[in-house]
Structure 1
Amino acid sequence: MSPMNPDAPQLAGDFWVYPSLGEVSDGSVRVNVAIAVEKSFDLQDTDVGVELVADGQSLSLAEGPAPGPLPAIEMVGANAYALYRFDNPDHLTPTTVTVTVRGGSAVFDLSLPIA
């Protein structure tokens, strides 16, 4: 599987989010979520959740962000990053990823073509 991106950022509650996916050689899928924040360290690991569905099955979370504030890059604006890894031993095709930030969710349909 080549890296996949949904077509555009979406609002999850008060935060713009944008996930990207890539398969890892060990049969897992990495999900990197960029989250627009007002300033660095606005979000903790516990503020963000991700669910990855592949071929109708919710994949098991193998790894999430380290405890504490999410790392961020600040330039003109700031983006926090949450990194996840999901087990996918059967190499199922991811179909949706749901990103939840402080109770607000955004669902990305990965079956749509990327423009």
Structure 2
Amino acid sequence: MREPSMPVRENAAEQLEERQSDRAYSKPVVVLDLLWDLAFVAAATAVLLSSRDEDPSMPLRLWIVGYALQCLLHMVCVCVEYRRRHNQVQGEVMEDGSGSGSGSGRSSSSSS
């Protein structure tokens, strides 16, 4: 009796994992992530501008510029991944027609 329940559990676990992954790249989460990184870039820019006349013994400006560049790179990566996932979902909806059976297209693409 336990054997038939194993595929059901595995399928449920796979669907849960897909939903959690999709939720991480939902529009509100992506916008919040981009705003958060943009705030760090703005703060780094403000610190650089306010300290341009200082002559520190330690080159903190280099660290601040590197951190701001890392934030910008992260923003680009998030945008690219969001677009890739969004286009993938749109392609699956187009393949399925009216949206019926969208789960089957998704499971086949995640296994490849």
Q: Which has the higher contact order (CA 8 A, sep 6+)?
A: 1
TM, length-normalised to structure 2:
0.22
* Pair member with larger Rg: 2
User: Would you tell me which structure has more helix in proportion to its own residues?
Assistant: 2
